[in-house]
Amino acid sequence: MPALTVTDDGFLLHGKPFRIISGALHYFRTHPDQWADRLRKARLLGLNTVETYLPWNLHQPAPGALDLDGLLDLPRFLELAQAEGLRVVLRPGPYICAEWEGGGLPSWLTADPNIRLRSADPRFTGAVDAYFDLLLPPLAPFMAASGGPVIAVQVENEYGAYGDDTAYLAHLADALHKRGVEELLFTCDQADKEKLAAGSLPGVLATGTFGSRVEDSLQVLRAHQESGPLMCTEFWIGWFDHWGEPHHVRAPEDAAAALDALLSAGTSVNLYMFHGGTNFGFTNGANHDHTYTPGVTSYDYDAVLTECGDPSPKYAAFRDVIARHATVPDEPVPEPSPKLPPTEVALTASANFLVCAEFLSPAEHFTDPPTMERLGQAFGFVLYGTELPALGDHVLHFTGGVGDRAQVFVNGAPAGVVERERNEDSLHVRIPEYGARLDVLVENLGRANYGAHIGDAKGITGPVTLDGRPLEDWTCHGVPLNDLPTLPFRTTDTPVAGPSFHRGTFTVDTPADAYLALPGWTKGLAWLNGFNLGRYWSRGPQRRLYVPAPVLRAGANELTLLELHAATSRVAWLMDEPDLGWTVRH
């Protein structure tokens, strides 16, 4: 019997009335050494529960594998939550959305165009079953039935916005039960009649996702499910950002008033997000409605805790609201974390990306350019090369487009950029000689995390033609950059144009949170002591990258940048304040 059960209008936990007052905290978006701090701040807010997704694509980077280390050490996160006295709601997907790369679906799975994703297709459910076979046994001790903190587990995620395959949902629920999950199962969908009908499963609690119009949303949810507890599984208190768009914010008083309305109605709630964190590395997702729009590195979300874990103005406002409806610890609001004083970092050594291709990965040869998935690669870049059998002005055409951003070079000189985001697929090139070298560097800017484009391919996704004639005989270097390679850096004090790695060292007395500022730099990635902080882009809105204190060391530290274009400076700065860009009220 599950520890958490339902009555006509509420929950019972071990037979006693219990209202879930939860906050979303994604362990994989927060440095592990900071988990305990974030969980403590959740308890001090008055939360009794935390909620988290589980990213399938990271936990299972290849079939048959399971990664539970570092950022992915979910058992440790659950231990820390229980030690703080918090219950846990798990949302294992298999699809999670979360503005996360591919919605959490692994690229080795979506690479098969014949698989019907998020359906009862045996090829899809078989992969899910194999993943659950590996994932669930290590989590069994943390289920409430075994004395652990996990009191509820979600079946899929907002499925009604995607499909209506009830057999698929039933398979997932059965898969959880067969592998020993006794805890309460639930679904969640947007507070919409049709979506709730398509995404619900008989006998499984249906919950809603919304951020405003509380009374109307609860009425829709109650009309769909005549009895049982009302729960807003995602109470959207902020929003996410895309490159080239404003930073979204929501007034604390507006969000607090909506939270008060929810709690006054007796509803259980999960704040989305309590703490957003960061899309470290290549993990941001993308949306694709009318056009493709990749997410930024920050997942600050205008949440209760900021990206660095400091209480935002929403913290005090929400704490006051929660205190009207539940017991809040009689302890002060947490103080902001210490910040590193402004620190200059001179990047004194460089290595040209195109010249160093053989250091990055061995060359593979293909008649036609392969997709990133065909190379067995999930993240990063692919460098394609061939010879151009012409002279003068010509039109280079990517017949399938690119996934997602291609920088084109002729004999090493920049010839232009082709962007999926701008629906581009062609480029004028001037060829100086017969047999000139064509290089195309394609970046995966993040797989779609929502809608019909989930599972989109990356790299060059079709034949490439020159004035309509196919180009063949390609060499390819897959560049996932899972780890920084050993490169032939050379010391220089002049700006370097074109894709290049840049390296510099600096010293720190006492590690503390910081923000990496890159004025004069254009676009690329940053590593600090080998830890991938994520992407930067002068397009904005985000102007600085969060640097978690545990990434820094007392003494010598090393910063490495991969600048994809050019920089007017050879200096970076570690600053004591964030800069998420210009804002818009959401």
List Cβ neighbours of 6 (8 Å cut-off, separation of 6 or more): 12, 184, 205, 228, 229
Tokens of 219: 């009425």
Distances (CA, A) of 283 to 106, 432, 469, 509: 12, 39, 36, 31
Catalytic option among 51, 99, 158, 373: 158
Residue reference for tokens 């910063």 = 559
Distance CA 44, CA 395 (A): 61
**CA neighbor of 124 nearest in space, from 106, 136, 142, 103:** 106
Catalytic option among 101, 183, 234, 307: 234
In the residue annotation, 387 being an active-site residue is answered as no
Residue reference for tokens 């231990």 = 79
List Cβ neighbours of 254 (8 Å cut-off, separation of 6 or more): none
In the residue annotation, 183 being an active-site residue is answered as no
Kind plus residue range of the DSSP H or E element containing 141: none
List Cβ neighbours of 289 (8 Å cut-off, separation of 6 or more): 451
- In the sheet that holds 544-547, the strands lie side by side as 343-346, 571-575, 514-517, 544-547
Distances (CA, A) of 186 to 96, 155, 227, 430: 14, 6, 14, 58
How many other CB atoms are found less than 10 A from the CB of residue 19?
19
Cβ(420)–Cβ(287) below 8 Å: no
Could you list the beta-strand ranges (E) of 64-178: 87-91, 150-154
Q: Which residues of 395-432 are buried (b: 16+ CB within 10 A; e: fewer)?
A: ebbbeebbbbbbbbbbeeeebebbbbbeebbebebebe
Q: Are strands 490-491 and 349-352 parallel, antiparallel or unpaired?
A: antiparallel
Cβ(546)–Cβ(533) below 8 Å: yes
The gap from C-alpha 364 to its chain's centroid, in whole angstroms, comes to 30
**Sign of the C-alpha dihedral computed for residues 412, 416, 419 and 425 taken in this order:** negative
List Cβ neighbours of 424 (8 Å cut-off, separation of 6 or more): 401, 418
**CA neighbor of 296 nearest in space, from 55, 29, 32:** 29
Could you list the beta-strand ranges (E) of 246-353: 247-249, 268-275, 286-288, 292-294, 343-346, 349-352
Q: In degrees rounded to 5, what are phi and psi of residue 431?
A: -105, 120
Q: Is 537 left (phi over 0), alpha (psi -120 to 50) or beta?
A: beta
Catalytic residues: 158, 234
